[in-house]
Amino acid sequence: MKSLVCISLACCLAVIATGLSASLPGTELSPPSSTAQRLYAEARKDLLQIRVLVKNGRSQSSVGSGFLLGNTDLVVTNYHVVSQIALEPEVYTGEYLDTHGRRGNLQLLAVDVLRDLAVVRIDRHGSGFFQLPDQTAQLIQGEYLYALGNPLDLGFTISEGTYNGVIQRDFSDLLLFSGALNPGMSGGPSITASGRIAGVNVAHRRDGELVSFLVPVPYLQALLDSIGEEPPDDFTPLISAQLLEHQGVMLDRLLETPLALKQLGDYRVPVRESEQLRCWGSANTRPRNGYSSGRIQCAMESSVFVSDELRTGHVAINHSLLQRNGLDRWRFARTARHHFSGQVYRSSSNTLVSGPECTEDFIESNGLALRAVLCFSAYNKLDGLYMLDVLSVTTDDPDSALLSKMSMRGVSWENGLRLADAFLSSMQVATDDNVIDTPLEGQP
């Protein structure tokens, strides 16, 4: 599964060798463009570094970026930069540092966990450079954009790149920025050559080069419009409400039509393929340790950041078919049992999620005998949300075993049962009456 990386220092560690390029011959950096120089000179006074500190000792926990809006005292950043303050205000606090070395405290006002946005208030006002446009202007593919922030805690910088369209593989749009966004630039602005805000720096792909993402301006405007006179005393109910609404949308879209069926050996198994959920197939038809195997895997390419310990809003489907090929039946049964066990695991160090509570039964689905396990784990601080795992293994054939699993992170109890029922009730044996679908990508 491909993944996005949040670009704050809380999300990764780096060892920096300062001054390296200056000490090596032939590594002189090209000068920045005149446009970048002008924009940085005008914008730098309203750029900020956002720091999250442990209250006890004021030690630094995470670092990101932010920017002052207009002439106000409101600062835009990413939710993942200040998530510790939102979830554990008794432990963490925040401060800002500007380009002149001045620092001060900040107050969290609003969060949008789904779009990874947050607004904080500080004790100074902006110069008016970063103005939120009355209407979102259309960006042109290939148009130059300029990302600002404080990468790797090395100092404030500007990074030149290009706009390359809207990405719609998630449940919220993202802008594709072909430029460098490094850890520490989270929450900084990306602007056009005229200084108009194009989006908020949020993530980059760890498996790509210069594949970065911005949160579009309309989401920021909606968050600003939601700010009341006083911020919540506790942000966790608000975060829970946002995630509950999101999982409802996810499940309605996931189950708006019956799950698709793909053939895997002598079985037909449920999958879902969409812009958000991608599937791949693989097979090993050569005998290995006395059995062969085939797989179908489906997974979302993104998830919702809640904390360093918890991502949610993610769905995955896995089917594995083991077929006996030389192994005696007793050892084959033990091999299948080994593959089936140990698939649900929760770290005891994760205080945000409870241990799994599971129930097991032997059921029949479309004439297919299954051993099924259903597991829920509660989100301790986010009421009404759970992790769901549904597992099944066939029990009708001593020479083959179909092992299936569907997982969803961040689902209500009712929707979890609804999803489990749709998944288990779709599995069936392949017959001559079934229409065989086109094989998945990578499946022979």
pTM: 0.85
Ranking 9-23, 135-149, 230-244 by mean pLDDT, the lowest is 9-23
Q: With 50 as the cut, is the pLDDT of residue 2 above it?
A: no
Q: Which fold has domain 35-226?
A: Thrombin, subunit H (2.40.10)
350-371 residue pLDDT tens: 778 999 999 999 999 999 999 9
Q: What is the pLDDT of residue 252?
A: 93
Q: Which distant-in-sequence residues (6+ apart) come within 8 Å of 375 by Cβ?
A: 344, 356, 357, 358, 359, 387, 388, 389, 390, 391
Question: What pLDDT is recorded for position 13?
Answer: 30
Q: Give the pLDDT band of residue 302 (cuts 50, 70, 90).
A: confident
Confidence of residue 438 (pLDDT cuts 50, 70, 90): very low
Q: Where are the domains of the chain?
A: 35-226, 240-429
Average pLDDT over residues 167-179: 84
Amino acid residing at 383 = D
Residue 137 pLDDT > 80, yes or no?
no
CATH architecture of 240-429: 3-Layer(aba) Sandwich (3.40)
The rounded radius of gyration (Å) of the Cα atoms in the chain is 25
Residue 15 pLDDT > 50: no
Give the residue, 182 or 269, on which the prediction is more confident.
Answer: 269
Which class for 280: exposed (0-12), middle (13-18), buried (19 or more C-beta within 10 A)?
middle
Choose among 218, 221, 223, 216: nearest CA to 202.
216
Q: Say if CB 427 and CB 395 are below 8 A apart.
A: no
Q: What was the pLDDT predicted at 209?
A: 77
Angle at 254 between CA 281 and CA 87, to 5 degrees: 105
- The answer to whether the CB of 203 falls within 8 A of the CB of 301 is no
Percentage of the chain modeled with pLDDT above 90: 68
State the average pLDDT for the chain: 87
